[in-house]
Structure 1
């Protein structure tokens, strides 16, 4: 190996250095094919000569193997901004997912933003995850932040911008829950069947435009509110009584004119749902009213085939999700029901009623468009356990009546 080792910035004239300067190496790494001059690699910061010799030997070994990587001087912040478009284009991700990734990057920036990628160590990354835990971030939030961090550093490794991935052995701290804590955990809130009947009756009698049809469909199908708002008339098969879920609505600013229709949440979310005759009849009634408005407004109606289209101002545009949320809040108040419930609660309500009706979990998951969902499982388990308790109690009562 051609090169030499020296103490950088050492001004000691004595044989033994006393100024504490660090060791460095300079080694020949080949000839520049353009200039014909020799190329050298210099690195400093070693505490001892032995450390510098070891690092130089490693470099020469990498040269021989053809795996020398010139690490980038890019900061984490700069590379993360470059990575996001690469990620979104390569995976064709939805706008909502991009927003989530941006949010997760923002949680890593305070720790690494101005640091060079190559200077971020495994300990530094693990310390960041531990600090997020100490700040009280939930397991799911930290899992998302770590997932994004791993993708960023793996891409940097793939592009040969760094030699080591600091996220490789990272782990998330999770506190073990006591039996008391597990027993106190609440399942998602939903409506019992009597409460649902009251809610729908209230929607039918006191609901505003679209209210009854909206909440009837959400309750009887378990579809997501974004899937509901994106529904078009072509998605309804009036002959075979089915509704096809092929898209979802995206509009984070709640600006009626600036909406997007994007692909469903997952591949499993694309599905065809068999519906009741009551829903089909309600849809037919709604279509008659809508056709009258279209005929009256003509070209002033934004006719893109939406079922839940606005009939006042910005005619024809799909209603925003916030409208569905506000309408539900109003009806819950009128019916004197739990005000904390949301349109998503009707999805859990649908799960609970299907479970009570004896429908298998696999069929429920298929209807909801889930490949795997813990919340749905929790609701299903809660309902079926209650049914088992009831069956046990009925058996005990029967045996007592025979004595």
Structure 2
């Protein structure tokens, strides 16, 4: 492993050759490293770096590179900038058919922060301090004029969770660069001091969850709706919207006691998916705004038990769907779905949300997002004494810790009741005493 330094200038000898040892105070110094044979091409790898003002600076930089070679931590980034790598990374994710919504979030983070602030930097020059500076900037209040049009919610300041999402994006991109041998260490790994610590949750900020009597009131209101069984499954089983839309009759147990989550239908736009991804796996056509896909994680592929009311609702729904099938005859577009349009075409998940919100407003209940019906299902399970580990598996969380963190506010009343029951084991052995009367 060898290297050398040399000077770059425009000086030439009388016969037109470059001067190797120019002593004039101009030009810059560079170094070249002999990094061995490239196993892919069979050619010698001789990366060069320049721009050093003095020979001493170039020699010190060469020494540092040789030290990396000797330690086995040297990498050749091929003069790849972060911006160019992020483009390649996104294209690789699309080719690997990653979740369109995940790619959409990555694109947004890259567009808003990583490309404008660090896109010009070479991967080898990227340091942890650069990542910290960008995250610190994201934590500042958002100032300036807001763009016109439909650009999402207007916020005054990003939350710590949102900022950490930006960090997870750059961490994932640089982890891929590390696996590709472009960098030796990922500077975005680990806790970043520039991300603010989330404040303790204020009681006023906790999500509003329907009480059992409110959920029952809603289910009774939509009892005659053609999608009433969908709302029953959301309330009793805690299924996500995509899981409800993608549920097939073949996913249900023969005895109807449970179901397996093996397919989802997510809401997408035309620009989020490739033409190949947009094709329906059943009929081969393109259903605008809908994408069939498997659950995002292994934990998402799970078995979910069904309560008796949910089973009864599905039985009624099957009969109604059979009548629709007979009505449409040869025009029925069977996709094997439990919940679909009257002609068999898959539902648009965003339309399911709209109809749910219309029902909520019509029956006079407090606003509650469709996704938050999972909170109510979790509360019912906890109140029924279902262990947190089982609740975690039913809801499809990665670990019980995720369930505890997400639903900590729901567990308070159940925990208080359990503590009271435990206390009775001791207090029933103690004599009853009259309450102390305070002097006026």
TM-score band, normalised by shorter chain: 0.7 to 0.9
Shift of 1:94: 2.6
SS at match of 1:45: strand
SS at match of 1:269: coil
RMSD: 3.9
SS at match of 1:260: strand
Structure 2 counterparts to residues 287-366 of structure 1, below 5 A: 287-311=318-342, 315-339=343-367, 341-366=368-393
Shift of 1:74: 3.2
2:99 corresponds in structure 1 to 94
Matched, 1:120 2:126: yes
Alignment partners' CA distance in 2, 1:336 and 1:170: 45
Shift of 1:144: 2.4
Q: What is the CA deviation profile of residues 149-206 of structure 1, one whole-angstrom value per residue up to 9, with x for unaligned ones?
A: 123223334434346644357724344466xx444463332111111111111112xx
SS at match of 1:319: coil
Query: 271-280 or 299-308, which moves further after superposition?
Result: 271-280
Structure 2 counterparts to residues 221-236 of structure 1, below 5 A: 221-236=237-252
Structure 2 counterparts to residues 2-401 of structure 1, below 5 A: 3=4, 24-26=29-31, 29=34, 43-60=49-66, 69-87=75-93, 93-106=98-111, 107-135=113-141, 136-162=157-183, 165-167=186-188, 171-176=192-197, 181-184=200-203, 186-204=205-223, 208-210=225-227, 212-253=228-269, 256-311=287-342, 315-339=343-367, 341-372=368-399, 373=402, 374-387=404-417
Query: 221-230 or 169-178, which moves further after superposition?
Result: 169-178
Alignment partners' CA distance in 2, 1:46 and 1:141: 40
Alignment partners' CA distance in 2, 1:9 and 1:263: 61
Task: Report if aligned partners of 1:129, 1:172 keep a CA contact under 8 Å in 2.
Answer: no
Q: What is the CA deviation profile of residues 213-241 of structure 1, one whole-angstrom value per residue up to 9, with x for unaligned ones?
A: 12111111111111111111122235252
Cα pair distance change 1:273/1:57, threshold 3 Å: closer
1:14 corresponds in structure 2 to none
Instruction: Report the count of equivalent residues.
Output: 381
Alignment partners' CA distance in 1, 2:66 and 2:313: 76
Alignment partners' CA distance in 2, 1:111 and 1:371: 34
Task: Report if aligned partners of 2:256, 2:311 keep a CA contact under 8 Å in 1.
Answer: no
Cα pair distance change 1:390/1:324, threshold 3 Å: farther
Q: TM-score scaled to structure 1, two decimals?
A: 0.79
Q: Identify unmatched segments of 5+ residues in structure 2.
A: 12-22, 39-43, 142-156, 271-285
Q: What is the CA deviation profile of residues 50-79 of structure 1, one whole-angstrom value per residue up to 9, with x for unaligned ones?
A: 322222334455667887654323332222
Task: Report if aligned partners of 1:125, 1:170 keep a CA contact under 8 Å in 2.
Answer: no
Cα pair distance change 1:269/1:401, threshold 3 Å: farther
